[in-house]
């Protein structure tokens, strides 16, 4: 009886030691948790020059959902970055103004946790969310709205003008830059803490034995070399390091001038198929194996891929409770929709 009890204690001790060492291993490989403490989180996502307030967030949410920011009046930020669909749109290439598919066949990345990205867009051309928000609104194949049109529509709606003054002060200039900065403020709060974060923050029971094994495989295979940091992605990395991506011919995207591509976040990855920059792989297991070949030059077995996918499921986080807003009504002076 004593021997059985001693063996049980040894096994429990070994299990606890493995969990602790795995947390250390994850941290040593650059993986970071979303802070459990709100004050610590705010240090990461807030900007002292443009602090997050509830007024800005609520106004930014309305603008994010408002299709009048598009030329046609029927496309909003939420169209391609759907809050209810993992922050993406669930199709291979984004569809925009005039039912136009993205000319480079680029897939819409998730907006969730994008505040943690070091670069925005697949080619990393924007350094932060406020700058990124300006691009799709103006782009012809997306929302196709010139800044002056956006400014006219928002300023023609007294309720919007009042909300801007309430958020920023009576002297605020409601221009295109301020409008997109406000959208970015809303996007900053779209953070989704997951069981993985609880685990890294010290709760060793937050992950199952199978999820821990998957995390260990994820690290050992080298996945964390690119999918790292709080976002498990969001940095610029070279692509096709070992072999050619098997769907490289779909679209003409080759990365930035240095051939670098933004590594997509793995947070909520089970919700954001199809995968890769051109949205050509629908199976998460297949995506894992393709990355092993393309980036690491290794063969990831079906068993290993299944283990990694088990871990990736633990990255599905708790979403902020976002209610669809009631938008202020247009006036007779609000510029009419344009479909050409």
Residues 6+ apart with CB under 8 A from 217: 304, 307, 308, 311
Of 286, 304, 236, nearest to 264 by C-alpha is 236
Domain identity same for 57 and 182: yes
Domain identity same for 222 and 108: no
Domain identity same for 162 and 85: yes
Annotated binding site: 77, 80-81, 97, 223, 226-227, 291
Overall domain count for the chain: 2
Structural domain contains residue 113? yes
- Indicate whether 16 pLDDT > 80: no
The β-bridge partners of 215 are: none
Tell me the per-residue pLDDT of 54-87, one tens digit each, with 9 for 90 and over.
999 999 999 999 999 999 999 999 999 999 999 9
Of 290, 312, 310, 309, nearest to 300 by C-alpha is 290
Tell me the per-residue pLDDT of 209-258, one tens digit each, with 9 for 90 and over.
999 999 999 999 999 999 999 999 999 999 999 999 999 999 999 999 99
Structural domain contains residue 320? no
The β-bridge partners of 18 are: none
Half-sphere exposure of 35 (CA within 13 A, CB side): 10
Domain identity same for 212 and 271: yes
Structural domain contains residue 3? no
Final residue belonging to a domain, choices 188, 207, 235: 188
Burial class (CB in 10 A: 0-12, 13-18, 19+), 169: exposed
Domain identity same for 165 and 203: no
pLDDT at residue 329, as a whole number? 98
Final residue belonging to a domain, choices 138, 162, 188: 188
Is there a catalytic annotation at residue 211?
Answer: no
CATH number of residue 52's parent domain: 1.10.760.10
Percentage of the chain modeled with pLDDT above 90: 93
Domain identity same for 167 and 101: yes
For residue 261 the two structure tokens come to 């591509």
Mean pLDDT of 129-153: 96
Annotated binding site for heme c: 77, 80-81, 97, 223, 226-227, 291
Burial class (CB in 10 A: 0-12, 13-18, 19+), 223: buried
- Alpha helices in 146-222, H assignment, sequence order: 147-155, 158-168, 176-188, 195-200, 209-220
Domain identity same for 216 and 161: no
Structural domain contains residue 93? yes
Burial class (CB in 10 A: 0-12, 13-18, 19+), 131: middle
- What is the rounded CA–CA span in Å between residue 288 and residue 293? 9
Q: How many Å from the N-terminal Cα to the C-terminal Cα in the chain? A: 83
Structural domain contains residue 331? no
DSSP 95: E
- What is the rounded CA–CA span in Å between residue 147 and residue 218? 44
pLDDT at residue 340, as a whole number? 83
CB 190 within 8 A of CB 115: yes
Tell me the per-residue pLDDT of 247-295, one tens digit each, with 9 for 90 and over.
999 999 999 999 999 999 999 999 999 999 999 999 999 999 999 999 9
pLDDT at residue 6, as a whole number? 46
Domain identity same for 161 and 53: yes
Domain identity same for 267 and 306: yes
Domain identity same for 140 and 223: no
Structural domain contains residue 282? yes
- Alpha helices in the chain, H assignment, sequence order: 2-28, 38-45, 54-65, 77-80, 129-138, 147-155, 158-168, 176-188, 195-200, 209-220, 284-291, 302-312
Say which of 24, 40, 58, 142 is annotated catalytic: 142
Say if strands 260-262 and 236-238 run parallel, antiparallel, or are unpaired: antiparallel
Structural domain contains residue 117? yes
For the chain, give the mean pLDDT. 94
CB 77 within 8 A of CB 183: yes
Domain identity same for 86 and 114: yes
Q: Radius of gyration of the chain from Cα atoms?
A: 22
Query: The domain containing residue 197 runs over which residues?
Result: 26-41+192-315
- Note the pTM of the prediction, 2 decimals: 0.93
Domain identity same for 128 and 171: yes
Structural domain contains residue 284? yes
Tell me the per-residue pLDDT of 302-322, one tens digit each, with 9 for 90 and over.
999 999 999 999 999 999 999
Final residue belonging to a domain, choices 188, 215, 247: 188
């Amino acid at each position: 009886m004593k021997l059985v009890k001693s063996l049980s204690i040894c096994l429990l001790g070994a299990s606890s030691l493995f969990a602790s060492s795995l947390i250390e291993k994850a941290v040593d490989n650059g993986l970071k948790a979303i802070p459990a403490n709100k004050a610590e989180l705010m240090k990461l996502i807030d900007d002292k020059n443009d602090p997050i307030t509830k007024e800005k967030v609520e106004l930014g949410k309305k603008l994010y959902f408002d299709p009048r920011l598009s030329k046609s009046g029927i496309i909003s930020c939420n169209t391609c970055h759907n809050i209810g669909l993992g922050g993406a749109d669930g199709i291979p290439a984004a569809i925009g103004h005039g039912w136009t598919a993205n000319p480079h066949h680029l897939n819409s990345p998730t907006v969730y946790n994008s505040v943690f990205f070091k670069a925005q867009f697949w080619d990393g051309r924007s350094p932060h969310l406020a700058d990124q928000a300006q691009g799709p609104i103006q782009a012809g194949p997306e929302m196709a709205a010139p800044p002056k049109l956006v400014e006219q529509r928002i300023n023609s709606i007294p309720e919007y003008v009042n909300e801007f003054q309430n958020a920023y002060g009576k002297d605020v200039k409601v221009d295109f830059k301020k409008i997109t900065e406000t959208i970015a403020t809303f996007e900053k709060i779209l953070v989704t803490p997951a069981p993985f974060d609880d685990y890294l923050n010290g709760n060793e029971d937050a992950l199952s034995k199978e999820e821990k094994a998957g995390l260990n495989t994820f690290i050992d295979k080298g996945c964390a070399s690119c999918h790292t940091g709080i976002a498990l992605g969001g940095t610029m990395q070279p692509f096709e390091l070992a072999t050619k991506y098997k769907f490289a011919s779909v679209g003409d995207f080759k990365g930035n001038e240095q051939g670098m591509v933004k590594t997509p976040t793995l947070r909520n990855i089970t919700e954001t198929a199809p995968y890769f920059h051109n949205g050509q792989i629908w199976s998460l297991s297949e995506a894992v194996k393709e990355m092993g070949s393309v980036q690491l030059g290794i063969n990831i077995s079906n068993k290993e891929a299944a283990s990694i996918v088990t871990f990736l499921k633990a990255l599905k986080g708790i979403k902020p409770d976002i209610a669809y807003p009631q938008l202020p009504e247009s006036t007779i002076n609000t510029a009419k929709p344009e479909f050409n």
